Structure formats: structure tokens, C-alpha cells
């Protein structure tokens, strides 16, 4: 049987990091319905220990929706920032370096906007400390939280008002000026790019049309020109596809993006993607989690093989690789230390009660040319 890690209820966001300093990737999941964060410590054989679940009755810790792992207190150990869409705040779990985490002694959380949906880290004010950008789907804005270097954050700057129902955010240097910029997807259509000025401020949003219901956005360099590109998943249908698709937006290095006259088909309702060179050919590929959402529609992960010119080929077939119930997040990790890319997929299990988990996908069979086989053990 494939490796399956039992989380608590409804994992929505998945991250990988080495949280116990053993050189092996660990997995962190935000469990929305159980108000907790699960940490799985990896071992050299590709297995994981039992989950350590972190929740709180002392702080308002409702509805974890996103996690970002970084050293927010600058002590050399990874910490976990958790965005909470149930309580509209953010809390940092401070890491000890051995895989355990503690809630703050005094700071009970930083208020953000209404229903924080996604979050990423960056240095937006140029002080060398890790900041956070939080996308709030109900209040239609972005909050910027500037790090103090002690796992706390200053009061949020004036929120950046956005178009209707912002969903996910990507961070990168889109115009090659050395400053972090933002790309934000909108569930009801469109993508906006905001260029950072390096002092915590951003220019006006530049809107791009990427089709109906874009759900996720990520950065990469898909045509190997050294410039930052974007990949956007969309859940609505184009006339030539019966499922969701991924749109590459190729950057020109000055903050502008161009949509080629094609899209790469994925599975039904793609909601998350990870960018990595999965087959070792020096070209970035995409792993796409397809939510499915109905009993008659399979829940899959699509593997899109980068061709180096900004186009992709679907290596696992149009339907993708079947995984657990309602996959919502995918991460790339090397969980057994063999130098090869593995995939971890968080399955929310909303349509099959109790079927929430993290599953692994062995890419070795795909790397050797077989596009649909999943061998055991799952991590190889």
C-alpha cells in the first residue's frame, strides 16, 4: 500500500522543511477543521514518525488555512507561521530545532484581514528580515506584516485593496530590480501583478486575463531565459478541454507577462501546484493537485513535463495519478535523502469522512518513462 500519513481534520496547506536539523525533509500540514497543525518528522528510509499536533485553547486558533516555515526569530531554527481564517489572525509557532514547537508566551496573534486565504514570505521592506504577505479573500485585500526578527510582526501596513475575491499569492522579482513583487490570483477571473518598491510599498496592480476561476499561482522559469515566469491553475473549462488547465505566463523581465496561445490540460478543478525539475533534465516541471469534488470525478495529481520553451506535456495522461480524497495541496520534497524529488499531497477528505491524509507519490517510474505507475514503497 502507498505510504499514507494520517493528519487531523481537513488539511488545507502543506509545507516541507527540515525542522529537526537532521538533513531530511519533514512535512507540516495546517488542519482547518481540527484547528491544529500537524508535524511529521522524516527519517532516512523515507518513513515518518507519528504526527505531533499543535493546537491551542489559550489563543484564538481557529481554521488554520496556510503555513509558512522560516526562521522568524533568527535563532537558526525553523518556525511556523500559521494564518487562521476562522479567527482572522496569525500566530507563529517557535521552533526549538528538535522538531518541537511552542506557542508564544505573550503575543496571542496578529490580526489580519477578513478570512486569510493564503500567505507567503518575503523581504518587502528591504531590512533583511522575513516578512509575510497575507491574502484575505472576504475583505478583498492584502496585509503586509513586517518582521521584527523576534517572531513578532509590526502592525499591518495599510491593506492593499484588490479586485473581488483574491485567492493565492506568489512572490518573486518580476522586474529584476532586486525587490520582491507580488502576483495575486482572483477566483472570479484575472491575475494582478504588484511591483515592490523595496520600502514596503507597491505600485498599482496590473491586471492580466488568465481565464475564468484561476485558483493558484506560482513562480518559475519555464523557458530558461533567466526571467521569472508565472503558472496559473484555472478550474473553469475552455472549449477544447473537459477539465481544468494550467496557463503559463512568460515574463519579459520588466514586470510584464505574456500568455502564449495555449494551455496545458490538468485534471478537474486544479487548486494547487508545485514547481520543480522532477525528472532531472534541467527544465522545471509542474505537479498539479486536482480537487475533483464529485464522486464521479477522480481526485488526481497531474504531472506536466516542462519542454524548456514555456510549454508542458502531460506525462501522467489527461486524468493524472489517482490520490486520496479531495487533494488540496502538493509539495516537493526529498524525504529519504537520495537526491531525487518526491511529492507529498494533502487530501482534505471533505467528501469521505475520515479520509484526510498526506500521501506520497513515487516519481521513479515516471522518470524512467512510465507515466502512470506508482510503485511501492512510495518514497524511492
Averaged pLDDT for residues 290-304: 75
pLDDT at 210 over 60: yes
Q: State the pairing for strand pair 89-95/101-102.
A: antiparallel
Provide, rounded to the nearest whole percent, the portion of the chain with pLDDT above 90: 37
Whole-number pLDDT of residue 378: 26
Of the two residues 327 and 66, the one the predictor is more confident about is 66
Whole-number pLDDT of residue 241: 46
Whole-number pLDDT of residue 351: 34
Across the chain, what does the average pLDDT equal? 81
- What are the tens digits of pLDDT across the range 127-173? 999 999 999 888 888 899 999 999 988 877 767 877 778 889 999 99
Residue 361 contacts residue 342 (beta carbons within 8 Å): yes
pLDDT at 371 over 50: no
Provide, rounded to the nearest whole percent, the portion of the chain with pLDDT above 70: 83
Whole-number pLDDT of residue 355: 42
Per-residue confidence at 95, pLDDT binned at 50, 70, 90? very high
- Radius of gyration of the chain measured on its C-alpha atoms: 19
Q: Which domains does the chain have, with CATH numbers?
A: 56-209 (2.130.10.10)
- Taking the CA atoms of residue 82, residue 83, residue 88 and residue 92 in that order, the dihedral angle to the nearest 10 degrees is 30
Residue 158 contacts residue 168 (beta carbons within 8 Å): no
3-state helix vs strand vs coil in the chain, percent to 5: 0, 40, 55
**Cα–Cα distance between 123 and 253 in angstroms, integer?**
19
Of the two residues 69 and 137, the one the predictor is more confident about is 69
Phi, psi (deg, nearest 5) at residue 327: -65, 135
**Cα–Cα distance between 92 and 73 in angstroms, integer?**
10
pLDDT at 236 over 80: no
Strand ranges for 146-299 from DSSP E: 160-161, 166-172, 181-186, 191-194, 206-208, 214-220, 229-234, 245-251, 257-258, 264-265, 270-276, 285-290
Residue 26 contacts residue 57 (beta carbons within 8 Å): no
pLDDT at 63 over 60: yes
**Cα–Cα distance between 85 and 45 in angstroms, integer?**
36
Whole-number pLDDT of residue 296: 57
Kind and range of the H or E element at 38? Answer: strand 36-40
Among positive and negative, which fits the CA dihedral 212, 217, 223, 225? positive
Whole-number pLDDT of residue 281: 92
- What are the tens digits of pLDDT across the range 262-282? 678 787 788 899 999 988 899
- What are the tens digits of pLDDT across the range 4-50? 777 777 778 889 999 999 988 899 988 887 888 999 998 877 788 88
- What are the tens digits of pLDDT across the range 237-259? 544 445 688 889 999 999 999 87
Amino acid at each position: 500500500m502507498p505510504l499514507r500519513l494520517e493528519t487531523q481534520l481537513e488539511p488545507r496547506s502543506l509545507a516541507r522543511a527540515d525542522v529537526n536539523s537532521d538533513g531530511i525533509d519533514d512535512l507540516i500540514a495546517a488542519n482547518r477543521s481540527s484547528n491544529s497543525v500537524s508535524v511529521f518528522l522524516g527519517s532516512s528510509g523515507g518513513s515518518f514518525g507519528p504526527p505531533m499536533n499543535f493546537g491551542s485553547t489559550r489563543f484564538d486558533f481557529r481554521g488554520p488555512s496556510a503555513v509558512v516555515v522560516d526562521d522568524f526569530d533568527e535563532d537558526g531554527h525553523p518556525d511556523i507561521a500559521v494564518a487562521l481564517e476562522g479567527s482572522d489572525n496569525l500566530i507563529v509557532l517557535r521552533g526549538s530545532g528538535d522538531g518541537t514547537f511552542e506557542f508564544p508566551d505573550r503575543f496571542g496573534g496578529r490580526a489580519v484581514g477578513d478570512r486569510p486565504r493564503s500567505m507567503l514570505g518575503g523581504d518587502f521592506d528591504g531590512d533583511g528580515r522575513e516578512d509575510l504577505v497575507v491574502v484575505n479573500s472576504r475583505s478583498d485585500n492584502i496585509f503586509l506584516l513586517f518582521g521584527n526578527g523576534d517572531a513578532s510582526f509590526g502592525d499591518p501596513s495599510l491593506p492593499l485593496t484588490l479586485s473581488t475575491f483574491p485567492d493565492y499569492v506568489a512572490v518573486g522579482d518580476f522586474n529584476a530590480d532586486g525587490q520582491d513583487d507580488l502576483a495575486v490570483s482572483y477566483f472570479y477571473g484575472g491575475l494582478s501583478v504588484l511591483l515592490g518598491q523595496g520600502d514596503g510599498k507597491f505600485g498599482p496592480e496590473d491586471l492580466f486575463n488568465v481565464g475564468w476561476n484561476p485558483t493558484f499561482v506560482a513562480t518559475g522559469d519555464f523557458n530558461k531565459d533567466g526571467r521569472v515566469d508565472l503558472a496559473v491553475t484555472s478550474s473553469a473549462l475552455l472549449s477544447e478541454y473537459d477539465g481544468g488547465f494550467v496557463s503559463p505566463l512568460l515574463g519579459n523581465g520588466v514586470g510584464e507577462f505574456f500568455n502564449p496561445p495555449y494551455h496545458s490540460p490538468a485534471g478537474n478543478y486544479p487548486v494547487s501546484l508545485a514547481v520543480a525539475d522532477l525528472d532531472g533534465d534541467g527544465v522545471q516541471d509542474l505537479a498539479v493537485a486536482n480537487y475533483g469534488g464529485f464522486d464521479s470525478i477522480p481526485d488526481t495529481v497531474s504531472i506536466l513535463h516542462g519542454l524548456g520553451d514555456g510549454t508542458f506535456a502531460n506525462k501522467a495522461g489527461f486524468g493524472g495519478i489517482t490520490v486520496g480524497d479531495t487533494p488540496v495541496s502538493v509539495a516537493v520534497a526529498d524525504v529519504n535523502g537520495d537526491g531525487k524529488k518526491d511529492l507529498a499531497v494533502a487530501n482534505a477528505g471533505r467528501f469521505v469522512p475520515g479520509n484526510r491524509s498526506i500521501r506520497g507519490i513515487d516519481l521513479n517510474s515516471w522518470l524512467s518513462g512510465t507515466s502512470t505507475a506508482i510503485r511501492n514503497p512510495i518514497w524511492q
